[in-house]
């Protein structure tokens, strides 16, 4: 347990390595969109690591990057088609940030630096670990932004078409007035900066 916790905060791809910030800043206006983006990236990361590791002996050094980009963009296209069919609101909310997973540094980075050199099972494990770190990070940012900016936590709204469950928690109940600043792009930058700063501080203390 302690190991998982230390991994999530000491080697987190977003907070520590500062990778894949585009989507962390862009889609985190509600908690639901944030964790769904995290889940999508997690699934794509595990699958791309699996495929890259399976073909690591066939692909030569020179053509590695183009081949990996095609693998990842195929996976992203499949995800796009699935989301477009089953959860249109979420697909529309993600907009261009769904295809942009192709150039998310976390996915390509793990394929290049780990999956291309290691056994299949280890690569899947590595993909899961990085994906989980990303999921936790993006969920934290989404939770804070929605709570501070709107006073609510959307557990499930956009994807309720599939699950049939809908829940938006109203936390402050108009006692505290939420600040819309955190829903704007500037607020996103400032909040992420503060969160990374606090985590840096905690890390150097421990």
Partner 1 sequence: MNIITIFITTLITENVILTKFLGICSFLGTSNKEKNALGMGISVTFVVLISTILTYLINKFILIPTNSAYLQTITFILVIACFVQITELIIKKYFKDLYKSLGIYLPLITTNCAVFGIILTNIRSNYNLIESISNALGSCLGFVLVLYIFTLLREKIENNDILKSFKGIPIALITAGIMALIFGRLV
CA pair distance 81, 56, nearest whole angstrom: 27
Rounded Cα–Cα distance for residues 34 and 52 (Å): 26
Q: Give, as ranges, the residues between 171 and 190 that touch partner 1 (CB under 8 A).
A: 181, 184-190
Binding-site member from 50, 105, 153, 183 for partner 1 (CB under 8 A): 105
Query: If binding is defined by CB under 8 A, does position 67 make contact with partner 1?
Result: no
For the beta carbon of residue 174, count every other beta carbon within 10 angstroms: 8
- 19, 41, 135, 159: residue in contact with partner 1 (rule CB under 8 A): 19
Shortest distance (Å) from residue 170 CB to partner 1: 27
Compute the distance between CA of residue 200 and CA of residue 115 in angstroms, rounded to an integer: 28
- Among 37, 115, 138, 192, interactor with partner 1 by CB under 8 A: 192
When the beta carbons of 67 and 168 are compared against partner 1, the nearer one is 67
- The span from the CA of 144 to the CA of 70, in Å, is 35
Q: Give min distance, CB of 96 to partner 1, in A.
A: 4
Spatial distance between the Cα atoms of 2 and 180, rounded to a whole number of angstroms: 36
Q: Which of 174, 171, 147, 137 is nearest to 29 (CA)?
A: 147
C-alpha–C-alpha distance, residues 163 and 200, integer Å: 38
At its nearest, how many Å lie between partner 1 and the CB of residue 193? 3
User: Could you list the residues that contact partner 1 (CB under 8 A)?
Assistant: 18-19, 21-22, 25-26, 65-66, 69-70, 73-74, 76-77, 80-81, 95-96, 99-100, 102-105, 108, 181, 184-194, 196-198, 200-201, 204
């Amino acid at each position: 347990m302690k190991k998982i916790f230390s991994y999530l905060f000491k080697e987190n791809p977003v907070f520590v390595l500062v990778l894949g910030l585009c989507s962390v800043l862009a889609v985190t206006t509600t908690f639901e969109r944030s964790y769904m983006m995290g889940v999508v990236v997690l699934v794509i990361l595990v699958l791309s690591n699996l495929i890259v590791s399976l073909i690591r002996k066939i692909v030569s050094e020179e053509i590695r990057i183009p081949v990996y980009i095609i693998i990842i963009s195929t996976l992203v296209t499949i995800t796009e088609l699935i989301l477009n069919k089953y959860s249109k609101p979420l697909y529309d909310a993600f907009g261009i940030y769904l295809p942009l997973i192709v150039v998310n540094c976390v996915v390509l980075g793990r394929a290049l630096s780990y999956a291309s050199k290691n056994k299949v099972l280890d690569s899947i494990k590595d993909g899961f670990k990085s994906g989980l770190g990303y999921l936790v990070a993006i969920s934290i940012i989404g939770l804070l932004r929605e709570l501070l900016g709107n006073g609510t936590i959307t557990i499930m709204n956009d994807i309720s078409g599939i699950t049939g469950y809908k829940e938006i928690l109203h936390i402050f109940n108009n006692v505290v007035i939420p600040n819309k600043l955190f829903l704007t792009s500037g607020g996103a930058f400032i909040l992420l900066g503060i969160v990374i700063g606090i985590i840096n501080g905690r890390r150097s203390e421990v």
